[in-house]
Amino acid sequence: MTTSKFSEKSTADQVLSGVDLKGKRFLITGASSGIGLETARSLVAHGASVVGTVRDLVKAEASTASVLNAAAQGGGSLELLELDLASLQRVRACADMLLASGRQFDGIIANAGVMATPIGRTVDGFEIQFGTNYLGHFALINRIEPLLADNGRLVVLSSQAHRVADVDLVDPNFEHQEYDPFVAYGRSKTAASLFAVEFDKRHRNRGIRAASVMPGNSATDLARHFSQEGLQGLLESVGKARAEAGLPPANLKEIAQAAATSVWAAVVADKDEIGGRYLEDCAVAPIDDTPNPFADGVRSYALDANKAERLWAKSEEMIGAKGTYLCP
């Protein structure tokens, strides 16, 4: 178990206190709001150069003013790049722009995502949450993998919701079963964790380590597909399930606290301790296979090396990757 002086209450700035990131470069997807915005702000405030991907450049220029201000004061920099993870064509265009510049990254933080969306398909026909949260990142990161520096890190945001559902390798797009928004979200976040497991295995020969992160529940616009009543109902269900299991109430984190585990994993943690693991509250999470979807810890299926390998192969097949997509 990783020993950490940080906890669920730590903020991203506290995690990076005294750390000089000048000369370090990071890629963050979904950098214009919520946890991604705070992750970017904290890194640039400590001198890092950040490339932030966003779906809408015009909107992002307004919402990232706080990051630019922090960069000016801390000696870091922010560059925005357009990326729509729900389109393989746009993923490839973004990846190719990064490859053309040739500049390396010390860390990649796969932060962008959608949650509990109504049934929908990406332009390539994938279920929208699996396609956006997982497959888009799978395609992007594998294509730009040569830009990840030796001894670099990949941080993939998972979620406590991975406890709701394992991946479905037979019917990932809900073509033969009834769609459930939260099950789909859970599957996409289990896939995110399994991606980190297999990426870590494939690239640790370069000193690169990958880990998945449960940031903690916080009030971001990720929940925009919930009605006020629906969100209230979810929070009540969480409280009830935790109480029944004898667990303390789940506290909502401030966004600054929710970004802490991402920056801890990307910069501060011992990379060999976190490689291939699932992290929460700035620590390696224990395995907990109780079926309670709102318990802490990680379900063992989200770290299953055999399943991670099978998901990778299925993902290559889904995006037509063999020998074409993943190679620059």
Which active-site residues does the annotation give? 158, 185, 189
The token pair that represents 211 in the structure block? 């880990």
CA distance linking residue 14 with residue 34, whole number of Å: 18
Nearest to 156 by CA among 175, 170, 136: 136
* Host H or E run for residue 142: helix 136-144
Instruction: Count CA atoms closer than 13 A to 285's CA, side-chain side.
Output: 31
The token pair that represents 151 in the structure block? 């001894």
The token pair that represents 165 in the structure block? 């559902």
Query: Alpha carbon 130 to chain centroid distance?
Result: 13
Contact predicate 91/141, CB 8 Å = no
- Where b means 16+ CB within 10 Å and e means fewer, 247-279 reads beebeebebbbbbbbbbbbbbbbebebbbbbbb
Query: Alpha carbon 306 to chain centroid distance?
Result: 21
The token pair that represents 130 in the structure block? 């699996």
Nearest to 7 by CA among 280, 326, 320, 314: 280
